[in-house]
Every structure is written in C-alpha cells, then in structure tokens.
Chain A
Amino acid sequence: MIGSNVARVEDPSLLRGEASFVADLIDAGTLHVGFLRSPVAAGRIVRLDLDGALRSPGVIAAIDGDTLSRFAGALPVLHTPDPTFVEATGFGMSVPSVYGLARDRVRFVGEPVAAVVAESRALAEDALERIDLVIDEEEPVVDPRAALDPQSRQVHPETPGNKAAWIRFARGDVTQRGIVVEGRYRIGRHSGVPLECRGVLGAYDARDDRVHLWTSTQIPFLVRRAVCEALGWSEERLRVAVPEVGGGFGPKANIYHEELVVAFLSRRLRARVAWIEDRTEHLLSSAQSRDQFHRTRLTVDGEGRILAYEDEFLVDIGSHNLWVAGVVANTAIHGHGPYRIPAFDIRGTAVVTNKAPTSQYRGAGRPEACFALERTLDLAAARLGIDPIEIRRRNVLTSSDLPYAVGLPYRDGKPIVFDGHDFGATLETAVRLVTESRKRVDENDAGSEDSNPTGVGYAMFIEATGRGPYETARVRLGADGRIWVHSGAASAGQSHKTTLAQIVAEVLSVDLVDVRVVSGDTDLAPDGIGTFASRTAAVAGPAVHRAAEELAKEIRGRAARLLDCRPEDVTFVDGELRDASGDRKISWVDLAEAHLRGGVLSTLPFPDVVERFEPDTVTWVAGTHAAVVEVDADIGRTRVVDYVVVDEGGRAIHPRVVEDQIRGGVAQGIGGVLLEEFEFDSNGQPKSVTLAEYLLPTSLDVPDIQVHHITSPSPLNRLGVKGVGESGTIPVYAAVASAVDAAFQWSIHMDATPISPRSLLAALENDS
C-alpha cells in the first residue's frame, strides 16, 4: 500500500464537480462582504465617511478600522525562531502591527480600509463606491535599497529604518586567498497565484455563540489561534474548517485581514457572511513573494573548489510579512547549497516598503538563495574555463561527505546535518538523462531547419523538509466500520486523502476506500500546525502512522473479545480481523456494530486515538535539475523544451504523487523565471492587476518533465519519509538562467528574473 500508485481518492468527486470549495458554501441567505481598498500606496486617512454606503440599496452594515479597533487587536506574527538559532545568527526582527482594517494610515494599494455587508456582492460593490474616502498621500517607499537609506521615510513607526528582520549565517574565515568572482542578482516579485482565489465564510451559531469559519487556507489551526487572539475570543468560540481548496502554494498559509473581519462580522451581525476574493483583489492584496537582491562573492582555488562564499541579501517584504523570520532564515541557511563550503558569511535584511504584503511561496527563500549561489558558481566556472558540470562535481557532497554537519543550528535550534546519501549521484544521473534525451530529440529532428540557439543549464539544490515543531493526528473507528483520520494538515490539492489513507490502510490491512481522511477542521482534530514548508508527508505522515499503530493496539483488545482470543493473537488480514489460527474472523463492520446499542462492546466508546509526532529536526533533500532552452534571439523569447529532475529524497508513499508534486513545482519555477512578475510604478501603484499583465505558464509553456527519484530513507521517522512539496521549484530559476547563458556560449550572464524578452534582448545587445 505504501509505495504504490493507487488511484487517487480525491478524483471522483472533484471530476464530477461534487466537491465544495468555499464559494460553493454560499446559499440564498448568505450575506456578502465587499472591502474598500486603499487606492494609494501610502498616506494618512483624513476622512472616511460610511454614510453613503449605509444608505445604499441592500446594505446591512458597514465598518471601518476605527470601529473595528474597539473589538480587535493586531494579527500576531506566525513564526519566532528558536533562541539557539537566534543566538547563533544574531537574528532579530521588528514586527509592525497589522490590523483587520487600516487604522489612521494606509500602507499599500489594496489595503482593506472598510468593509460593507450587503445582500449581494454587486450591491456591496455599489455601496463601496459611495464611501467618502480622503487620503492625504505621502511619498511611498518603493525601492528596498532606498528604504534603508537613513533619509528615507518610515513605512511603519514600529520598524525603525524600515528594517523588519536581519540575520547572519556565518562560519569560518571567508578571507581566503584565491580566485574571486562577484555577482549581483535579482529575483523578481511574484507568487503562487492559485487557480482558486481566497475566500472566507463565517456562519454564526446563536445557540452556542460560536462562529464556524470556512476559509480557503493551509493553516486552519493557526487561523483559529490568530483570529481568537486578535478578537480576544476563547478558541472554543471559533471553529475553523477548510473546504476543498484549489491550490495554496504558500500564500494561503497566511493570516489575512479578511479572515479577521469576516469572523468578527459573522458574530456581530449574527449572520452567515461570506467574502470571495476576485482575481484583481488577489493580484493586489494576496501575499506576494520572492523580491530579493543578492550580492555574492565566491572564492575558489585554481581547480574551482570553493574556499569561501559570501552573500549579502535584501528581501523586499512589502508592507508586512507574518513569516518574515522564515523567509530570511531560509534564504540564509540555503545559501549553503549541497556543497563543501569551508567558510561562509551570509547576511540578510528584510525591508518594508509600501507594496503588497508578502508571505511564503513554494520554496520560501530557498529559490532565491539557490539562484544567487548557482549563478555565482557558473560565473566561477566561466572565469576558470571549467565546465559548469565539472565545477559542481568538484564541490558537491558525496557519500564520503554525508551525513554532513554544517556547523550551525537550523531554525529549530538543532545542529544542521544533511542526512542524505550521495548528492553527487544526482548530478551524474541528471547529466546522463538529459544527454540521452537530447540525443533522442536530435535523431528525431534530423533535417529540421530550426536554427534557434539552444542551451543546457544545470542547477543543484538542497532543501530542509519536515519542519516541526509537531503535527497531530487523530485516528478512530467509525460507526460505519471505516477508519476516520483527522490531522492538522490541510490539503490544497496535495493528495492527503490518498497518501495519509495509504499509511493507515497498510498498518491495518484494510482497503483504501475504508479509510476516510477528513482534515483541516479544528473541531475534528484537537490540535495542529498545517500544510506548508514541505512538512505533511514527513510530519503528519508519521503522526498518522503512530496513531494508526496505537489504534491497532486498542482494536486488538476489542476484537479479542469478539474473537475469543488474546489481544496479541489478533491479526489484521485483507480487511478482516482474525484470530491466530485464522478460523475465527470478523469484519470491521462487525467490530463497529458491537459498539452500538445492544452490542457486546456497547459500554465502551469507539476506539479513538490522538498522537503527536515531533520530529527531532528537519530532514534534507537534495538534487539536480537540468533545463534545456531554445531561444528566439530576434524577439527575445525563451522556451523551455526539455527538463530533467533528479532528486534524492525520502521513501515515497505514492511515487506518482511525489513526481507530480515535483512537476508542479517545476511549472511554477518556469513561470517565475520567464513570465511572472508583480510590477509597481514609482508611486507604488501595482501594474499587474489582471491575468493579462501577470502571466502564468500554460501547458504550452511547460515541457514534459522527466523525474528520477532516488530514495534515501529519512532517519528521522519510521516511515523513512521526507518532504517534497517545494523542491521542484527551488533550482528552476538557476537552471533556466544557466541554460540561456549556455545557448549563447556564456557570452551573457542572466542575473535577474523574470528573463523577459526585453531583458534578454538588452543582454544580447550589451554583449554585441
């Protein structure tokens, strides 16, 4: 069961259109919330008069930041790193307060300023236009480098010097004598724009004075905690449940103004209230990401072996980032790469600006670190006249190096040890696979007139997966004889209903269809963290596994009474429970029915186990990507025509799910390196507000992706599982940029993403 490509449990209902996303939960009685959003990037609210809205047809209520401040405080920050890590890295942060509706000042275009509740969304939007909002504009801070200038205006009073976080990840002496190459890199601002926008629906239960909040989120338990903390509610008062979610990718692992406001309005109005984000709102105000500048300095010897690596980086986090600690820490730590780096000094600063807030997005700082390191390595290879493959070969960690201690702690305070087997093997395999693939293409295309330059680029990556602190799983026998699984994980399309069920099905020897996974509901599991940071398989998986094993123990005790044998003789075989001889057997339905009224076990509650898994620390994945591009140099268009991924990861619960997670990650990486960008003008006005400007990759932009997975079981959990959600994206930027350089024989060095036709043509012009 574990390790097999079973048909996905999710598919039938999704394909038949029977699944309920948050918008499907709207009924005739549901009221609709519209948000008035700031039209300017920075300013002081001089007048905010809701009268016109209140008198608008179909409007039930309207509220502004001032009124909300009587009931709600700020949203809490979502991550504070371990003290050991803080000590070792000098990490610090200044966290600005984020309120449900702007108080006094606005700090980005799209920031919610007021909310209107009406009988329909259209009526709400009509009412929003009748609100009198006057803002005294201030000069927005738009460039993060300028933001650090002492003369710059402050975005928030609580972030002096516009510095939201700082870190230094350093070990050894970087002043080595050798050949030095320096690079300057930029990864443009973009994010995981999901197919389904956000949405929140609050249903008020008057009898129990509770709000049932449905939200398209990856972190239901954290939403509950944050909203209750801000509203001063006991967590008993709020149930957060996740409906079907059409993609999360990180931006939905965040706490938003709208969640706080809808929860509040639902209780205040004693009504069923919904806000469904439209695409423009999404592109304006859902968390954005990346947006980093790096200055690197690599010292190598004459053979290209790394002696020292330095990187100074800036992250433009926009007006706030509740995960700012995670972004800077990830970027700093993953600047190390899967190589032997005797001395390194990586210093980073997160800067606030008057742009949309940011959060984590697939890779969460690692892609940026990887881009900077890998591009610099390519620069060194070019300088020394060494093949890019060879320079990596000379530095990569192989079986004689691993496990490899970096000498500094991870975000959880535990020493970083790369627990892999042979990262170099992924490089060799990638080279072999892409070479074979290219030979097949050349043979098929013999005689083709295509004269566009093509190039192959390589990039290696390392990724910390399975971050704690823990995940919770509840596994129980249902009255229907099925096994029900509730965990802290919340699927946004990652096949949890299948993979977590596979674990339980294996432990209990039942059919997959008899294991029902219902997660993401704070009433069904006692506790949880959520789905992000490539942690579900590696943390929720073992939690579910442990819970299933504990459940098995309880079940044995119950079944023994029905089978008239000792508990230790009960066996789970083929969806039945049998005694040692196999002569006596009962079905799971029999067992369940015995607990019902009149049954032999009816004085006992249904077996119901809660377990928590706390991983010792993160478990590391590494690998190599090879990208093949074809460039139309006259018009500056780059196409990725072939792509190979070789990763060394953990044991696959469902190999196809693992491969397709990687493929999805690669597709998003291709989007980020070639197409996607949130652009702002000098007034902080966003220019990418529809999908005509923010370009997402389509099936025509992504080639077939070969994935070769090498299993190196994790030593950190009994399943041997490592995470896989993000690795597909991490090295794509570097691999594609490298391939573009290769297409022109390294006469250019693409140092910024997205590699647009304009930037490529400019680079080719400069070169010639």
Chain B
Amino acid sequence: MKPPVFDYYRAASVDEALDVLDEREGARVIAGGQSLIPLMNLRLARPEALVDIGRLEHLRRVGVVDGSLYLGGLVTHATLCGHPAILRHAPLLAEAASHIGHQAIRERGTIGGSLAHGDPAAELIACCSALGASVYLESSSGCREVPAREFVQGPYSTAASHNEIVTWIRIPLADDRRVGFYEVAPRPGDFARVGAVWCSEPENDKSTVALFGSDCGHMSIELGGDGRAADVLDAVRASGRVQGGLVRVVEAAVKRSMPTEFHE
C-alpha cells in the first residue's frame, strides 16, 4: 500500500519544527517512523505534512545531570539496548527495548516516538511510569514537564497537544532501586499481549508495578516498599480492566517481574 500525497519538511532545529506544527494543523512529527509509516501506508493515518526531526542530533544524547538520567527523544531502542550509561543507570530500559520488534526496527524506533504514539503495548511507557520518569514537551509557548505516569491517558492518547514535541525524558536515579520486567508475547519481538514492570525503591518505601500490553493497556499500581504481587492483583481485579482467563496471565507476568520473595 502507498501513502496518500503529503508535504515533507526536514527541520534543522526544534524551533523550525515547532513553527511548522503551529502553521499546519495537518502536520505530524516523524522520527524513526516505525509506527507512523505503516499507518500511513495502510492509509489509516493521513497527515497532510510530515515534519522530520531526524536530523536534530542533539536529541540523540544520553547523559546524567544532577542526579537524573536524561534521554533525548530521538534515542533509539538499539541505543537503549547497548549504551553504557543506560546499562549502568537504567538497565531496565535495555531489557525492555530488547523486546521491541527486531534489530532493524530498533535501529530506527525512538523512545520519544514510543511515548508520543501511546500504544497500549509499549514497554517503554510502562518503564517510564515505573521509574517515576517525566517527559519534557516543547512547544512554541515554552517547555513543560509531565510525569510519565500521567502522560499516557488511554490507547494512542497522550497529554501532548498537536503542536508539542517530546524532547527529553528524565529518569531520577536511585542507588537502591530494584527492577524487574516480564512480557508475554506470541513470538519474540511481537507486540506484548500482557507485560509487567516492577520497580522498588526501599529507601523511599515505595514500589510500582506498571502493566502494559494490547490485552490490558497501561496501568500503574503504586504500593509501599514491601508491595506484593497479591496487592497488585487485588488492584487489577478491582479496576475491572482485566477479565476472565486474562487474570491468570496478568498474574503470571506480575509474578515473573518480581523476585519470588514478593510473590505472596
């Protein structure tokens, strides 16, 4: 399938990109294109114009500043899998990214794109929620910071407005943090059906389990430092979002994301 005709802008700066977004209501940002291009080829998405931010190299940087790890929105999944700073400070992202599609997709897909797209199966969204990360959105009126937990509001629906770009993701560092990840997908690399990310910060006496997957969507459950799988499942059942046989699968994913001492 071929996409319908569209205009194409290659932005040399964030400001240039924002100008186009302000000017043209039918314009959309494209970075790696791994979600957007298939939708356009299937003619399910029909942007009048694409604003290509792929040349904004400064948004590919990874670095630690003032106790937080900053990731530019254009950091690719492949980078997440292997960058030394990620492996050191946020190995959860490396683990999660390794489940995204296949090598070719990971070389182009970006963390900013994953967040902006808001797919219920997106691993990185759940990781950012669990890590207590925040998302920086830039528009021509300025920059704002949104907690990752509040960023995705529903399937393919985020807090970002049409004229905002995801420029940075900030992950607060924590020395005592323990993490876990488990995903249920039909085949390696497939979209997750059900997944769980566990993040525990005993010093702050809190832990979070963030669910993801096409069968259950994004859901963040916050518990005390000693939060158990059973508590998570109580919350899941109470939410009514998971029914029937799926509960068993969610239970397995949650337990497998946590060390056994937290199961009961």
Binding site for B on A (CB under 8 A): 120-122, 125-126, 129, 278, 280, 634-637, 675, 690, 692, 695, 697-698, 700-701, 757-758, 761-762, 765
Nearest Cβ distance between residue A136 and chain B, in whole angstroms? 25
Identify the stretch in B68-76, B180-188, B220-228 within 8 Å (CB) of chain A at 4 or more residues: B180-188
Complex interface: chain A residues within 8 A of B184 (CB): 635, 637, 757
In Å, the complex CA distance between A701 and B185 comes to 13
Complex interface: chain B residues within 8 A of A126 (CB): 4-5
B223-241 residues at the A interface, CB under 8 angstroms: none
Known: A634-B249, A761-B249, A765-B245. A700 touches B187 (CB 8 A): yes
Whether A280 and B1, one on each chain, are in contact in the complex, defined by CB atoms closer than 8 angstroms, is yes
Whether B248 and A761, one on each chain, are in contact in the complex, defined by CB atoms closer than 8 angstroms, is yes
Nearest Cβ distance between residue A633 and chain B, in whole angstroms? 9
Q: Which of A121, A129, A698 contacts B188 (CB 8 A)?
A: A698
Of residues A129, A675, A761, which shows the largest number of chain B Cβ atoms within 10 Å of its Cβ? A761
Complex interface: chain B residues within 8 A of A695 (CB): 186-187, 190
Name 16 A/B residue pairs within 8 A (Cβ), A-sorted: A122-B2, A122-B3, A125-B2, A125-B4, A278-B1, A634-B251, A635-B184, A635-B194, A635-B249, A635-B252, A637-B184, A675-B186, A695-B190, A697-B187, A758-B245, A762-B245
In Å, the complex CA distance between A690 and B249 comes to 25
Tell me the total A-B contact number using a CB cutoff of 8 A: 53
Instruction: Indicate whether B37 reaches chain A with its CB closer than 8 angstroms.
Output: no
In Å, the complex CA distance between A233 and B198 comes to 69
Whether B2 and A280, one on each chain, are in contact in the complex, defined by CB atoms closer than 8 angstroms, is no
Q: Which of B4, B193, B252 contacts A634 (CB 8 A)?
A: B252
Known: A122-B2, A126-B5. A701 touches B187 (CB 8 A): yes
Complex interface: chain B residues within 8 A of A635 (CB): 184, 194, 249, 252-253
Known: A675-B186, A698-B187. A634 touches B248 (CB 8 A): yes
Contact with A along B40-62 (1 / 0, CB 8 A): 00110000000000000000000
Nearest Cβ distance between residue A131 and chain B, in whole angstroms? 14
In Å, the complex CA distance between A517 and B193 comes to 48
In Å, the complex CA distance between A126 and B3 comes to 9
Whether B249 and A636, one on each chain, are in contact in the complex, defined by CB atoms closer than 8 angstroms, is yes
Closest 5 CB pairs of A and B: A122-B2, A634-B252, A761-B245, A635-B184, A635-B252
Complex interface: chain B residues within 8 A of A675 (CB): 186-187
B1-43 residues at the A interface, CB under 8 angstroms: 1-5, 38, 42-43
User: Which chain A residue shows the least CB distance to B193?
Assistant: A757
Size bracket, chain B contacts: 20 to 34
User: Which chain B residue shows the least CB distance to A700?
Assistant: B188
Of residues A635, A675, A761, which shows the largest number of chain B Cβ atoms within 10 Å of its Cβ? A635
Nearest Cβ distance between residue A345 and chain B, in whole angstroms? 38
In Å, the complex CA distance between A692 and B186 comes to 10
Instruction: Indicate whether B168 reaches chain A with its CB closer than 8 angstroms.
Output: no
In Å, the complex CA distance between A245 and B211 comes to 44
Whether B249 and A757, one on each chain, are in contact in the complex, defined by CB atoms closer than 8 angstroms, is yes
User: Which chain B residue shows the least CB distance to A124?
Assistant: B2
Instruction: Indicate whether B191 reaches chain A with its CB closer than 8 angstroms.
Output: yes
B205-264 residues at the A interface, CB under 8 angstroms: 245, 248-249, 251-253
Known: A634-B249, A635-B253. A690 touches B5 (CB 8 A): no
User: Which chain B residue shows the least CB distance to A675?
Assistant: B186
Complex interface: chain B residues within 8 A of A697 (CB): 187
Nearest Cβ distance between residue B131 and chain A, in whole angstroms? 25
Complex interface: chain B residues within 8 A of A637 (CB): 184, 186
Whether B191 and A692, one on each chain, are in contact in the complex, defined by CB atoms closer than 8 angstroms, is yes
User: Which chain A residue shows the least CB distance to B253?
Assistant: A635
In Å, the complex CA distance between A636 and B245 comes to 10
In Å, the complex CA distance between A635 and B1 comes to 35
In Å, the complex CA distance between A762 and B248 comes to 11
In Å, the complex CA distance between A538 and B248 comes to 51
In Å, the complex CA distance between A700 and B187 comes to 8
Of residues A120, A122, A634, A761, which shows the largest number of chain B Cβ atoms within 10 Å of its Cβ? A634
Complex interface: chain A residues within 8 A of B186 (CB): 637, 675, 695, 757
Q: Which of A121, A280, A636, A698 contacts B42 (CB 8 A)?
A: A280
In Å, the complex CA distance between A690 and B4 comes to 19
Nearest Cβ distance between residue B243 and chain A, in whole angstroms? 12
Complex interface: chain A residues within 8 A of B4 (CB): 125-126, 129
Complex interface: chain B residues within 8 A of A122 (CB): 2-3, 5
Complex interface: chain B residues within 8 A of A757 (CB): 184, 186, 193, 249
In Å, the complex CA distance between A121 and B2 comes to 7
Nearest Cβ distance between residue A5 and chain B, in whole angstroms? 32
In Å, the complex CA distance between A630 and B147 comes to 42
In Å, the complex CA distance between A757 and B187 comes to 12
User: Which chain B residue shows the least CB distance to A279?
Assistant: B1
Known: A634-B252, A675-B187. A125 touches B245 (CB 8 A): no
User: Which chain B residue shows the least CB distance to A756?
Assistant: B186
Known: A761-B248, A761-B249. A690 touches B42 (CB 8 A): yes
Nearest Cβ distance between residue B184 and chain A, in whole angstroms? 5
Nearest Cβ distance between residue A366 and chain B, in whole angstroms? 27
User: Which chain B residue shows the least CB distance to A696?
Assistant: B187
Complex interface: chain B residues within 8 A of A690 (CB): 38, 42
Nearest Cβ distance between residue B145 and chain A, in whole angstroms? 33
Complex interface: chain B residues within 8 A of A698 (CB): 187-188
Complex interface: chain B residues within 8 A of A758 (CB): 245
User: Which chain B residue shows the least CB distance to A632?
Assistant: B252
In Å, the complex CA distance between A549 and B170 comes to 77
In Å, the complex CA distance between A129 and B186 comes to 35
Complex interface: chain B residues within 8 A of A762 (CB): 245
In Å, the complex CA distance between A761 and B4 comes to 43
In Å, the complex CA distance between A453 and B226 comes to 32
Complex interface: chain B residues within 8 A of A634 (CB): 248-249, 251-252
Nearest Cβ distance between residue B34 and chain A, in whole angstroms? 12
Complex interface: chain B residues within 8 A of A765 (CB): 245
In Å, the complex CA distance between A692 and B194 comes to 16
In Å, the complex CA distance between A120 and B3 comes to 12
B113-136 residues at the A interface, CB under 8 angstroms: none
Nearest Cβ distance between residue A754 and chain B, in whole angstroms? 10
Known: A690-B42, A700-B188. A125 touches B1 (CB 8 A): yes
In Å, the complex CA distance between A701 and B4 comes to 36
In Å, the complex CA distance between A17 and B56 comes to 35
Nearest Cβ distance between residue B64 and chain A, in whole angstroms? 35
In Å, the complex CA distance between A700 and B190 comes to 12
Complex interface: chain B residues within 8 A of A280 (CB): 1, 42
In Å, the complex CA distance between A761 and B246 comes to 9
Given pairs A125-B4, A635-B194, A701-B187, 20 additional interface contacts (CB within 8 A) = A122-B5, A125-B1, A125-B43, A126-B4, A634-B248, A634-B252, A635-B249, A635-B253, A637-B184, A690-B38, A695-B186, A697-B187, A757-B184, A757-B186, A757-B193, A758-B245, A761-B248, A761-B249, A762-B245, A765-B245
In Å, the complex CA distance between A296 and B237 comes to 41
Complex interface: chain A residues within 8 A of B1 (CB): 125, 278, 280
Complex interface: chain A residues within 8 A of B194 (CB): 635
User: Which chain B residue shows the least CB distance to A281?
Assistant: B1
In Å, the complex CA distance between A690 and B187 comes to 15
Nearest Cβ distance between residue A211 and chain B, in whole angstroms? 26
Complex interface: chain B residues within 8 A of A692 (CB): 190-191
User: Which chain B residue shows the least CB distance to A762?
Assistant: B245
Complex interface: chain B residues within 8 A of A121 (CB): 2
User: Which chain B residue shows the least CB distance to A697?
Assistant: B187
In Å, the complex CA distance between A697 and B38 comes to 21
Complex interface: chain A residues within 8 A of B3 (CB): 122
